[in-house]
Amino acid sequence: MKNPIIVALDLPDAASALRLAERLTSVVGAFKIGKELFTASGPDIVRQFRAAGASVFLDLKFHDIPHTVAKAVEAATRLDVQMMTIHTSGGLAMMQAAEKAAQETARQLDRPAPLVLGVTVLTSMDAHDLAQTGVNATPAEQVMLLAQLAAQSGLRGLVCSPQEITALRKVLPSTMQLVTPGIRPAGSEMGDQKRTLTPKEAITAGANALVIGRPITGATNPQAAAQSILDSLN
Ligand code: C5P
């Protein structure tokens, strides 16, 4: 991806997503379609973005038995998304099945395999939340454990928070793609994000792509906001 900005289209319906995307398509690298938009508008929203030539990151965070996740990954690969997410806490066999489904389906279709990104520990969870689910590691320890399991499974990318990039870069293969939300341009509103980095800081720390929502989607001029973030990277 030449342009590392992925815009999170956290919007309620297809019409508003498509309207915004049209203004942003020349200044961003990809569009992230998440659970709200996908559930409201269905796979057609992905087809519309692909028909317009835009790259799509389908963020549905699959987590199920290996067979079911593999089938969902196959369906997403057929939709021709460029990236998608699964939960690494689904285990080694689930991740292996997901990666294999992406590779094999893409091969059948004669396309590059989409990047299956592993999500480790949700940033909304602290040590107490983890303990309630029976995990007695700190979030940082658990992120490290799951990230290494993801690398062992053959996944080629991970979603990680800005705070995790440096530590992960030390232990992961250098080819592992790190996609990072929690990005705030200098001087912008934090919203509910507590630990942020600027776009430049995140790239310098080793992120390959940045997921940015409200600083772009909530700007008076979203196109200018995205362009200014892009400029800040050079
Ligand atoms: O508006 P904002 O830039 O905070 O949007 C960030 C996007 O990244 C949202 O779609 C959010 O759900 C997602 N995300 C996040 N933190 C994570 C994982 C995903 O903010 N740890």
Q: Following DSSP, what letter does each residue of 104-122 receive, concatenated?
A: HHHHHHTSPPPEEEEE-S-
Distance (angstroms) between ligand 1 centre and the Cα of 213 equals 7
Write out residues in the chain with pLDDT < 70, as ranges: 1
Q: For atom 6 of ligand 1, which residue has the closest CA?
A: 213
Measure the CA–CA gap between 90 and 127, rounded to whole angstroms: 19
CB 24 within 8 A of CB 226: yes
Measure the CA–CA gap between 123 and 152, rounded to whole angstroms: 23
Distance (angstroms) between ligand 1 centre and the Cα of 114 equals 20
What would the DSSP string read from start to end of 176-215? -EEEE--B--TT---TT--S-B-HHHHHHHT-SEEEE-HH
- Residue % of the chain over a pLDDT of 90: 93
Which pLDDT score is estimated for 70?
98
Which pLDDT score is estimated for 84?
98
Residue among 10, 11, 146 whose CB has most ligand 1 atoms within 8 A, to mutate: 10
Q: What is this structure's pTM?
A: 0.96
Catalytic residues: 61
Chain length of the chain: 234
Picking from 100, 21, 95, the residue whose alpha carbon sits closest to that of residue 57 is 21
Residue among 61, 211, 212, 229 whose CB has most ligand 1 atoms within 8 A, to mutate: 211
The CB of 157 under 6 Å from ligand 1? The reply is: no
Picking from 108, 116, 46, the residue whose alpha carbon sits closest to that of residue 80 is 46
Which pLDDT score is estimated for 194?
78
pLDDT 10s digits, 90-120: 999 999 999 999 999 999 999 999 999 999 9
The CB of 211 under 6 Å from ligand 1? The reply is: yes
CB 180 within 8 A of CB 147: no
User: Any idea which residue has 């793609």 for tokens?
Assistant: 177
- Amino acid sitting at position 181: P
The class level of CATH for 5-232 reads: alpha beta
